[in-house]
Structure 1
Amino acid sequence: MGKSISLDDVQKYQNNLNERKEAKVLQRAISHDGIANASTDFKAQGKMDPVFSVELDTGAVANQKRSGRCWIFAALNTMRHHLADVFNIKGDFELSQSYTFFWDKFEKSNWFLENVLKTADQPLTSRKVAWLMETPQQDGGQWDMLCAIVDKYGVAPKSAMPETANSNDSSSLNAVLNLKLRKDASVLRKMISEDADDKDIEAKKDEMLNEIYRMLVYALGEPVKEFDFEYRDKDKNYHIDKNLTPKLFFDKYVNVNLDDYVSIINSPTDDKPYNKTYTVDMLGNVVDGRQVKHLNLDIDEFTKLAVKQLENGESVWFGSDVVQKSDRKNGILDDNLFVEDEMFDVDLSLTKAEQLDYGQSVMDHAMVLTGVDIVDGQPTKWKVENSWGDKVGTKGYFVMSHSWFKKFAYQVVINKKYLSDALQKAQSEKPVLLDPWDPMGTLAFNEK
C-alpha cells in the first residue's frame, strides 16, 4: 500500500508556500488573468513579425469550420497553389473539400468493416478490437490517405460540390455514422461466430455499404460526376472547360504525380531508428489503395528538406501538435511564448522523444508551410497557412518559430527529387509495422 497524503503533509506544503515572498502576488495574477495570460513573454511575441526571406504568394486562406478536415484542406491547398500558379487563377479559388470528404467517409466505412472481419476471431476485450470500436471512423487522416482518395476519385473545384451543413460541422454525421458502423460490426461478428457462409457475409456487408452511401448522400450531397469549370484569371480573362470528370480535372489542371511526394517524419523515439520507414497497423481508408508510409529522419535533415522545397517555390504540407504553446488569436506558434515553468518555479522540460513516449504531445493538425525566414543560413521562423479562416493570425496565416518547429512538428511531405540517393533508397524499403495507437498515426484521430 502506498503512502497517503497526511494533514501534516498538507500543512508542511502550505508553510513552504508561505515562505515565498512572491506567492500572494503570483496567486492574484494567475487566478485573475489565467495561466496563459499571466505567463506570456511579450518579448517572445514581439519577435514573431510576419516577415520572411522566402515567401510564396498563396492567396486567401480556407476555413474548415467545425470539422476535423485539416489534412484534406492542407493537401488541397498545396494543389490549388500549384493550379493557381500554372493557370493564373486568383487567390481565393478553392478545390472541393466536401467532394474529397464524401469519398473518404465512404472508403473509411469499408476499411472499418474489413478490419471488423479481420479481427472477428479476437474477443471484444482485445486491445486491437477495443481500439477499432472506440472510433470506427473520423474526420482526420494522413497524406497517403488523401493520395489514395485522389488516385481513385480525382478532385473537383469547390463550385462543383460546395460545402453543406454537415461538412462544415461534422459532429452529428460522425455520431450517427459511428453508431451505424458499430451496429454493423455487431452483426458481422455475430454472423462469423455462427459460422455464416462467406457469400452471406459479403452480401450483408454490401447491404451495409449501400445504406452508408445513402446516409452520406443525404448529409453531404451526391458526389459530382461531371461539371463545367468556369473561371476568370488574374487578368480578368474568362475561361470555360466543359464536361469534365473529377479524374480529368485532376489530370488536366492539378497535373501532379502524387507518387513523387512522400511522408517524412521526425520521431526521435527509441522504437523508430532514423533512415527507416514505418507504417501504422489498421490505419488507412481505401482498401488496396496507397499505404500510409513514413521515412523517419533526424531534425536537421527534416528541416533542410522543407527549406529546399520552399526555396524552389513549392509549399509544404506538414503535421504538428498545434495546441502546444499556441496563441490562436495572434497566430503565433512559439515554445518560448508562455513561460509557465518560470511562473510556477517548476521543471516542465521534456525532450521531443519524451513528449511522444509519455503522451504529452501528439500530431493533431495539418497545415501548409508557405514561407521561411533564413538568417545566417539558418531558419528562424516559418510562415504557416492554416485552415481556420481569416479571423485568426494575419488574415489566417500564422508565424511559427523554428524552435517550435523542432519540438512540435512531426511530419512534412516532400517531393522525392529533393531526397539524396541514399534517402530515396531508404524510402523505398518495406516499412516496419507500428501499433494502431502509435503517435505517428494520431493525426487521423486527434485532428483540430
Structure 2
Amino acid sequence: MSGAAKKLSIDNLSLWSKEFLTSDKVGQLAASVCQHGNVDDLLINRSKEISNIHVFNHKIDPEGSPVTDQKASGRCWLFASTNMLRMQLMTKFNIKECQLSPSYLFFYDKLEKANYFLEQIIDTYEEDVNSRLIQWFLTDPICDGGQFSMMTQIIDKYGLVPNQVYPDSFNTTNSRIMNRLITSKLREFAQILREKLTKGEDITETQLSMQQEIFRLLCIFLGTPPKPTDQFTWEFYDKDSKYQSVTSTPLTFSSEVIGFDTSQYISLLNDPRNDYNKMIKIDRLGNVAGGEPVSYLNMDIETLATAVVNRIKANKAVFFGTDTPKFMDKKRGIMDVDLWDYQLIGYDHRGMDKASRVIYGNSLMTHAMLITAVHLSEDGKPVRYRVENSWSTKSGTDGYYVMTHDYFKEYVYQVVVEKGDISDFVHLLDDKEPIVLPPYDPMGALARME
C-alpha cells in the first residue's frame, strides 16, 4: 500500500452531515421521496415509458406460442433455443402452439457436464487444489446455465423431443436442491480421483461408476429420459383441428423433422476489451467431453445489430445473450438504460463504458432470450426490438419486452446467426490464432438468469 492509510474521519462525517442537511436541497428532496418507496418505481422516466410501445414494422410470423416459463431454474438458454426451433414446426405442421422439451436437453446437459467436470479434474490433477483454475472447476460444476454452442453439442449427440414426450418434473423447475446434492457428490469424486491419480492408480472403473451414479441421481430427480435412438410418437391437432402424429427418434426429430443443422450456427460476440474480427475461445469451458470449447466471433456492436435486423427481415428469430435484469422493468416490460431518471437524485449511471463495466465486474452476460421483431427508423436504423422471455406471461407485457437500441448497444453481448447471415465474415471463422480466455473470464459467464 502506498502512503498512509486514509481512514474515515469522524470530523468529516460531521461536516458532510451538516452540508447535506443545510445545503443539499436536491439530496434532501431525494431522501424524503426515496426513503418512502421503491426507487425504481419513483424515478420512472415517463417519456421513456410512453415511447416504448409494442409496435414494430418488422416482425416474424408466426411468433412462438405459448409463452414459456423456466420457473426457479437457470434454463433460459435452453428455452431460448427450443423456442427458436419450435417456430419451424409451427409452420411445417400448421399448428397454433408448440413446445419442445428443455427438460430433455437439461437432463443430458447435466449428465455431460458432470463427466466434463470429471475429465477436467483428471486432466489437471497435478495442479494445486487451491489454484484459481481448480477452485473454478469446483465452484459450480453442473450449473443450470449454458451457451448456444453447448446446446448444439447436446442436440448433436442426443437429439430433441417435443415437450409432451419428456415434460418438466418438480426438480427441473426448481433445481436448487438437486444441484446442491450432485455438486457435493462431484466434489467428493474430485478428491477421490485426484488422490488415486497422485498414487498412480488406474481410475477407469472408478470414473465409470461415478458416471453411473450421476445418471442414477438425475433419473431420481428428473425422470428417465428417452435415449437418442428410442422411438416416440408425437400426437397433436393442427389449426384446422385435424389430428396429426409424428413417429421419430430424438436424433431424427432434430435433424430431419425440425431440420436443425447445428453446423450452420455461429455466435457473434461484442467484447470491446478485445480485438474485433477475431475468434475468441474460452479455455476448458464446455459440456461434452471431446467437444469444442465455447467460442465466438468478436464483432463491433453495429455488426451484431445489422445481423439481427437481417434475420428478422428473413422471418427468423434471434437467440441473444444479455446482462439481465440490468435496466429491465419486469412490470412494464421495458429494457431501457434511461427508463429510470437517476440523474434527478444526482446519480450518474453512465460513468463507465461497456469495456470498463466488464473489466471491473459491473456487467457480464447472465440471460438468454429471443428477438422476434425490430422497429426501424425512416433511414433504416434500429430503434427498438421485441423480446420473447421465458418468465411466463406474468412477466413483462404478456411475456414480451421492448428493448431499445441504446440498451442493445450497452448490455447485449451475443447474438446467434447462421453462417449465411454473415457471408462477408465467414472466412474469419478459420482464425488460426484465436484469442484464448480462461474459463473464469467474464465472457465465460453462462446464461443462467433465474
Give TM-score, length-normalised by structure 2: 0.95
Within a 5 Å distance, the mapping from 1:162-241 to structure 2 comes to: 162-196=167-201, 200-224=202-226, 225-241=230-246
Report what 1:260 is aligned to. Answer: 264
Mapped contact 1:39–1:343 kept (Cα < 8 A): no
Tell me which amino acid in the other structure corresponds to 1:14.
S
The CA distance in 2 between the partners of 1:281 and 1:358, in whole Å, is: 21
The CA distance in 2 between the partners of 1:136 and 1:248, in whole Å, is: 30
Residue by residue, what CA displacement relative to the aligned partner does 1:91-148 show, whole Å, maximum 9, x if unpaired?
A: 3x10011111000000000000001111110111111011111112200000100000
Flag the 1:399–1:95 CA change in 2: closer, same or farther, 3 A: same
Residue by residue, what CA displacement relative to the aligned partner does 1:278-300 show, whole Å, maximum 9, x if unpaired?
A: 11112110112243210010011
Tell me which amino acid in the other structure corresponds to 1:247.
L
Report what 2:443 is aligned to. Answer: 440
Report what 1:63 is aligned to. Answer: 69
Which of the residues 148, 151, 156 maps onto 1:143? 148
Report what 2:38 is aligned to. Answer: 34
Residue 406 (structure 1) shift: 0.6
Which of the residues 41, 47, 50 maps onto 1:43? 47
Report what 1:342 is aligned to. Answer: 344
Instruction: Give the stretch that moved more between structures: 174-183 or 332-341.
Output: 332-341
Residue 22 (structure 1) shift: 2.8
Report what 1:301 is aligned to. Answer: 303
Corresponding position: 1:100 with 2:94: no
Mapped contact 1:341–1:348 kept (Cα < 8 A): no
The CA distance in 1 between the partners of 2:209 and 2:40, in whole Å, is: 51
Mapped contact 2:20–2:28 kept (Cα < 8 A): no
The CA distance in 2 between the partners of 1:417 and 1:142, in whole Å, is: 21
Mapped contact 1:54–1:311 kept (Cα < 8 A): yes
The CA distance in 2 between the partners of 1:343 and 1:47, in whole Å, is: 23
Report what 1:90 is aligned to. Answer: 96
What is the root-mean-square deviation in Å for CA atoms of aligned residues?
A: 1.3
Residue 441 (structure 1) shift: 1.3
The CA distance in 1 between the partners of 2:271 and 2:126, in whole Å, is: 33
Instruction: Give the stretch that moved more between structures: 152-161 or 124-133.
Output: 124-133
Within a 5 Å distance, the mapping from 1:411-422 to structure 2 comes to: 411-421=414-424
Give SS of 1:368's match.
Answer: strand
Residue 347 (structure 1) shift: 6.2
Within a 5 Å distance, the mapping from 1:109-120 to structure 2 comes to: 109-120=114-125
Tell me which amino acid in the other structure corresponds to 1:246.
P
Residue 25 (structure 1) shift: 2.1
Corresponding position: 1:398 with 2:404: no
Give SS of 1:43's match.
Answer: helix
Report what 2:27 is aligned to. Answer: 23
Instruction: Give the stretch that moved more between structures: 146-155 or 285-294.
Output: 285-294
Within a 5 Å distance, the mapping from 1:220-369 to structure 2 comes to: 220-224=222-226, 225-242=230-247, 244-269=248-273, 272-346=274-348, 348-369=350-371
Give SS of 2:177's match.
Answer: helix
The CA distance in 1 between the partners of 2:395 and 2:272, in whole Å, is: 32
Identity %: 36
Mapped contact 1:329–1:393 kept (Cα < 8 A): yes
Tell me which amino acid in the other structure corresponds to 1:170.
S
Mapped contact 1:41–1:338 kept (Cα < 8 A): yes
Tell me which amino acid in the other structure corresponds to 1:308.
N
Report what 2:426 is aligned to. Answer: 424
Give SS of 1:380's match.
Answer: strand
Give SS of 1:371's match.
Answer: strand
Tell me which amino acid in the other structure corresponds to 1:447.
M
The CA distance in 2 between the partners of 1:98 and 1:346, in whole Å, is: 42
The CA distance in 2 between the partners of 1:37 and 1:385, in whole Å, is: 23
Structure 2: which 5+ residue stretches go unaligned? none
The CA distance in 1 between the partners of 2:430 and 2:110, in whole Å, is: 29
The CA distance in 1 between the partners of 2:317 and 2:348, in whole Å, is: 39
Mapped contact 2:309–2:374 kept (Cα < 8 A): yes
The CA distance in 1 between the partners of 2:200 and 2:294, in whole Å, is: 33
Which of the residues 348, 370, 390 maps onto 1:387? 390
Residue 210 (structure 1) shift: 0.6
The CA distance in 1 between the partners of 2:347 and 2:15, in whole Å, is: 18
Give SS of 1:32's match.
Answer: coil
Residue 36 (structure 1) shift: 1.2
Runs of 4+ in 1 over 6 A off after TM superposition: none
Number of paired residues?
A: 439
Instruction: Give the stretch that moved more between structures: 386-395 or 363-372.
Output: 386-395
Residue 192 (structure 1) shift: 1.3
The CA distance in 2 between the partners of 1:215 and 1:298, in whole Å, is: 44
Residue 346 (structure 1) shift: 4.6
Instruction: Give the stretch that moved more between structures: 347-356 or 218-227.
Output: 347-356
Tell me which amino acid in the other structure corresponds to 2:48.
A
Instruction: Give the stretch that moved more between structures: 360-369 or 337-346.
Output: 337-346
Give TM-score, length-normalised by structure 1: 0.95
Give SS of 1:141's match.
Answer: coil
Tell me which amino acid in the other structure corresponds to 2:322.
S
Tell me which amino acid in the other structure corresponds to 1:69.
R
Instruction: Give the stretch that moved more between structures: 274-283 or 228-237.
Output: 228-237
Tell me which amino acid in the other structure corresponds to 1:149.
I
Mapped contact 2:284–2:293 kept (Cα < 8 A): no
Instruction: Give the stretch that moved more between structures: 16-25 or 183-192.
Output: 16-25
The CA distance in 2 between the partners of 1:162 and 1:420, in whole Å, is: 38
Mapped contact 1:120–1:189 kept (Cα < 8 A): yes
Flag the 1:342–1:26 CA change in 2: closer, same or farther, 3 A: closer
Flag the 1:410–1:347 CA change in 2: closer, same or farther, 3 A: closer
Give SS of 1:433's match.
Answer: strand
The CA distance in 2 between the partners of 1:13 and 1:187, in whole Å, is: 57
Report what 1:73 is aligned to. Answer: 79
Tell me which amino acid in the other structure corresponds to 2:408.
F
Flag the 1:68–1:347 CA change in 2: closer, same or farther, 3 A: closer
The CA distance in 1 between the partners of 2:164 and 2:285, in whole Å, is: 31
Instruction: Give the stretch that moved more between structures: 40-49 or 100-109.
Output: 40-49
Mapped contact 2:366–2:445 kept (Cα < 8 A): yes
Residue 21 (structure 1) shift: 2.0
Flag the 1:424–1:32 CA change in 2: closer, same or farther, 3 A: same
Mapped contact 2:150–2:294 kept (Cα < 8 A): yes
